[in-house]
Amino acid sequence: MSDTPPPQTYRVKSFGCQMNVYDGDRMGDLLTAQGLTAAADGTDADLVVLNTCHIREKAAEKVYSDIGRLNRKDGTAPLIAVAGCVAQAEGEEIMARAPSVRMVVGPQAYHRLPEMLQEAVAGRRVTDTDMPAETKFGALPRRRRSGPTAFLTVQEGCDKFCTYCVVPYTRGAEVSRPFADLMDEAQRLTEAGAREITLLGQNVNAWTGDDAKGRTVGLDGLIRELAKLPDLARIRYTTSHPNDMTDGLIAAHGDVEKLMPYLHLPVQAGNDRVLKAMNRSHTVESYLRLLDRVRAARPDIALSGDFIVGFPGETDAEFEDTLKLVDEVGYAQAFSFKYSPRPGTPAATMEGHIAAEVMDERLQRLQAGLNRTQVAFNDATVGRTCDVLVERKGKFAGQMIGKTPWLQSAVVSTSAAIGEMLTVDITTGGANSVFADERVRAAA
Ligand code: SAM
Ligand code: SF4
């Protein structure tokens, strides 16, 4: 293959979880540091990075159809890189199936993107799916850009091996980033304009590190220290595993004002036999008692979760148990999925795979149930006074949209700018958002 002119512009398209959004932003930082500029909306880019997701089959297959659609207005193909978890799991297959792809880079190796780009420009096709001992984070440029809300990956990987899940294979073992690095990155984010930081990890509450005094602390220790940053107004974290919900973290929900009253705590199913087959290592009862403790610490907490319907062998009665759990908990938000067999995971070869139409029907019933609890939650917040951090413009002139402490999208008529914190009264509930009236404008 002949030499290609070095790309001047790039676009990173991220799919899947928030950790991919974080990685996509960091790849953008790396490319910017190499002198490339982000392609403006609606224009062709010289380099396109597809930052992919492998969690379900549909998400993984999407990459091949996306590659086919990347041609530019003049009919030429951009330089294409495939990154993320599909790259990690199917690197060789991508290279074989998609000759236009010039770089394949796994989630633990993307700090090497600049060198890979040089190789690709010289006409070579390059793959890097190593999980190097050195962390990529140390090799990434310092963060200089941020909107009012920012993600900060504090932990990666997973040692839990739920029987349906590819994450332990694509992201590797659990690794926590050092405390000092995280404090430094958070400080820089606030200097760049972030007022809310969401700490990310596949099992974020498994994070552990040594604080400035050398004491080993858990996620609550990190949150307490971050709360001291004067320009940081709000802290969130996701995704947590029930087994890593420590007493300290629960207590932090009661006494750290900047920690928002929202907890995403996936349960996956409402039946103990199914949970055991999933290797979840919690029961319905232990999950409910955990929620009791969280609610005792923070009575107004909004609860969210992930659910899988149609796990191999799930009976109608076992699925009904999930519906009961949804009503009992009263989720404020949730994500629900049809089980998708992933190559190499134990569940993929289990007996009793569920027919597609049964899964469809179960998913519809589950989503109807979740929709009811979500509307009930939003309705119950009508009349509350709270803060809203303005994130973007609304659909109509004079409308802005931001988040309440409970992570509801709030539509407010206001002249406030993006990044301002408003005090509002919630006036109307809805399925996916609430409407609110502005009360007092805090100083910008
Ligand atoms: N670590 C988190 C936990 O255990 O709760 C979740 C991380 S995973 C990226 C996000 C969600 O994807 C899971 O909670 C699960 O509901 C869903 N998921 C994972 N593997 C799946 C599969 N094979 N089929 C369908 N949904 C799946
Ligand atoms: Fe996947 Fe979460 Fe289970 Fe880890 S704990 S294997 S990331 S579902």
Rounded Cα–Cα distance for residues 160 and 158 (Å): 6
φ, ψ at 220 (rounded to 5°): -65, -35
Nearest ligand by distance to the CA of 171? 2
* Site of tokens 């590659």: 67
Which residue's CA is the closest to the ligand 2 atom numbered 3? 162
Ligand nearest to the CA of 201: 1
In this structure, the residue with its CA closest to atom 2 of ligand 2 is 202
What's residue 441's pLDDT?
60
Residues with CB under 6 A from ligand 1: 17, 55-56, 164-165, 167, 202-203, 239, 241, 266, 268, 306, 308, 337, 339-340, 342
Cβ 372 vs Cβ 397: under 8 Å = no
Q: Is the pLDDT at 2 greater than 60, yes or no? A: no
β-strand partners of 428: 435
| Nearest-CA residue for atom 19 of ligand 1 | 165
Rounded to an integer, the average pLDDT of 143-152 is 90
H or E, element range at 47: strand 47-52
Residue 162 in contact with ligand 2 by CB distance below 6 A: yes
Half-sphere exposure of 230 (CA within 13 A, CB side): 0
* Ligand approaching nearest to the C-alpha of 263: 1
Q: Tens of pLDDT along 286-314?
A: 999 999 999 999 999 999 999 999 999 99
Phi, psi of 398 (to 5 degrees): 85, 0
pLDDT tens per residue across span 85-123: 999 999 999 999 888 899 999 999 999 999 999 999 999
Region 140-166: what's the mean pLDDT? Answer: 92
* Stretch 198-209: mean pLDDT: 96
CA of 166 to the centre of ligand 1 (A): 9
Region 276-285: mean pLDDT is 97
Q: Which of 52, 162, 165 to probe ligand 1 with, by most ligand atoms within 8 A of CB?
A: 165
Nearest to 183 by CA among 173, 171, 197: 197
pLDDT-derived band at 70 (thresholds 50, 70, 90) equals confident
**165 CA closest ligand 2 atom index:** 1
Tell me if 240 sits within 8 A of 154, measured CB to CB.
no
The answer to whether the CB of 411 falls within 8 A of the CB of 394 is yes
Distance 336 CA to ligand 1 centre (A): 9
Backbone angles phi, psi at 5, to 5 degrees: -60, 140
DSSP per residue, 274-307: HHHHTT----HHHHHHHHHHHHHH-TT-EEEEEE
